[in-house]
Amino acid sequence: MSHKAINTIRSVFNELYPAPGSQDVLEELIATLEKARTDLPFEDQPEGWYKDAVVYSLYVDLFNGTFEGLKDKLDGLAELGVNCLWLLPILDSPMRDAGFDIRDYRNIRPDLLGMSDTTPVEEKQKAFREFLVHAHERGLRVIFDIAMNHTSESHPWFVESRKGPDNPFRDYYIWNKDTNRYKETRLIFKGMCPSNWEKDGEWYFFHRFFEFQPDLNYANPKVLLEICRILVFWLGQGLDGFRADAIPYIWKEDGTNCENLPQAHKIIKIFRAVLDYVRPNTLLLAEACQPPHEVVKYFGNGDECHAGYHFPLMPMIFKTLALSDATPVQHILHPSVTPGIAPENQWFMFLRLHDELTLEMVSPEDRAIIHGHYCKNPGWDFRVGEGISARLSELLDRDPGKIGLAYSIMLSLPGTPIIYYGDEYAKLNDEAYYESFRKETGKDDTRYLARGPLDWEKIALELKDTSSLTYKVNSLMHALLKARNSSGAFGRGSMQWAGVQYSPAGEAAIPVLAYFRSYGDDVVLVVNNLSGNPLEVTSVDSRAVNGINMPDGSAVSTPLVLEPYGFRWIKLSTNN
């Protein structure tokens, strides 16, 4: 693996940067990797560990204040059934975009560690290493976000870059005398940013996101070297993986839309080879809000990302729930839409994340259906109809039956599931947090409705009340995750749609979403009633069903009566 990784780096680097002067940068990169591999105090990670993961996504400060506060809750997260933490941005930042505007790639924000701005960097890094040890001792792996496409405007590279064309850091970013380059590039923050160019003195700099987040210039090999060094640094701290933020945009080429360009894939191949050389099986997770046929390209031939988010599946789950019709989910997972992936790759799935319920990847007709059904408050709108900013419990009418059904679908379809912090407690939108951000920054970013701190005292009280929404959802989540973690079929198994006979029948929609999950001798039948009415399942694939209801261990057989929005995960007997 090590020899192959170095050969990949040399070959791909020379394709990207054929200029003779680039060779010094390449040799500097190779030397960095060789030293890191020699010095690394950790063993290789288990192959494919991310396939068995249940990921919990959180902001450290909003979850419980600091890393010490998070440490206090790790046992509870492990008991819930989580085995991987995805830390939303924790690196030093002015916090104008929730930490995705990075000012220092090697420095943890001191407030997250309960430290001051004057605390030495080494002391902060030591505290983070201690947190990683604490998490690993509880069987929890840790990944975090690294924004590879852009930095904060207050990053030292950009501070130097804006001093003028002769500054050695000028070429770390993209500057132009006018805005006539990259004219085909779409606006990502439509309604919040009028242009991808920001005037700065007599020049303009390019940005795909907010105007305070200038894009890095990967046409400069020194930028690639710097980012590789940052990956290597965090491997040395004990991190288990990286969420590669906004990777479709990292290479720009005039005359294109600056998305999914071949050079971007070459950059990712180098990142992957760096990880494979220094610490194999370190997760590289693609954050590419693209159609599935584009996302799978970021898996390469087993030489790019290990896994990627299935962004279009999420809105189709919501459409399926809105219409009480299995067709949208069945369609999005059809091989003509979601291509097959290699055994070593994996989809990551979610119902909600820190971002909006994005409708970028759906048709105008579907956008109208989903936005019309779920944007129950005009204040939840994001990017002029292209998204909805709301917590899961708000989208699903604070109805534990609907919430449970949504989780039944997401947790049992192929892939690795993500739980967004607070959703296991049916957290609601946080109007006060959104308003405080809007006043502080002047940005009307409605995604902040779906963020905000957890109120642990309130949660504790509600968990004592068996009639509360918090208690009902939390109990269900514990049961579902226990069931999921008891079977390899969910994270590693194949899926086959099940033909279900049910009554009452005759509707145009298909109100039952059913499928088999299989991994060796482990076979689970999942049956979801999408309607608000009871249904009786009389047979599956023209056969009777006999098995064990996974959450409670009770015997199950057809006819199977499903309550409104009810579901069953059935471990099948050997005679099925």
Which residues are identified as catalytic? Answer: 245, 287
Closest CA to 226 of 279, 151, 298, 285: 151
Would you say 528 and 548 are in contact if contact means Cβ atoms under 8 Å apart?
A: no
Torsion over CA: 416, 422, 426, 428 (sign): negative
Would you say 537 and 500 are in contact if contact means Cβ atoms under 8 Å apart?
A: yes
The full DSSP string for 218-269 is TTSHHHHHHHHHHHHHHHHHT--EEEEETGGGS---TTS-SSS-HHHHHHHH
Around Cβ 185, how many Cβ atoms within 10 Å? 18
SS3 per-residue string spanning 88-125: CCCEECCCCCCCCCCCEEEEECHHHHCCCCCCCHHHHH
Closest CA to 191 of 483, 441, 459, 386: 386
Per-residue burial over 500-509, b = 16 or more CB atoms within 10 Å of its CB, e = otherwise: bbbeeeeeee
Distance in Å from the first CA to the final CA of the chain: 43
Contacting residues for 363 by C-beta, under 8 A, at least 6 apart: none
Contacting residues for 180 by C-beta, under 8 A, at least 6 apart: none
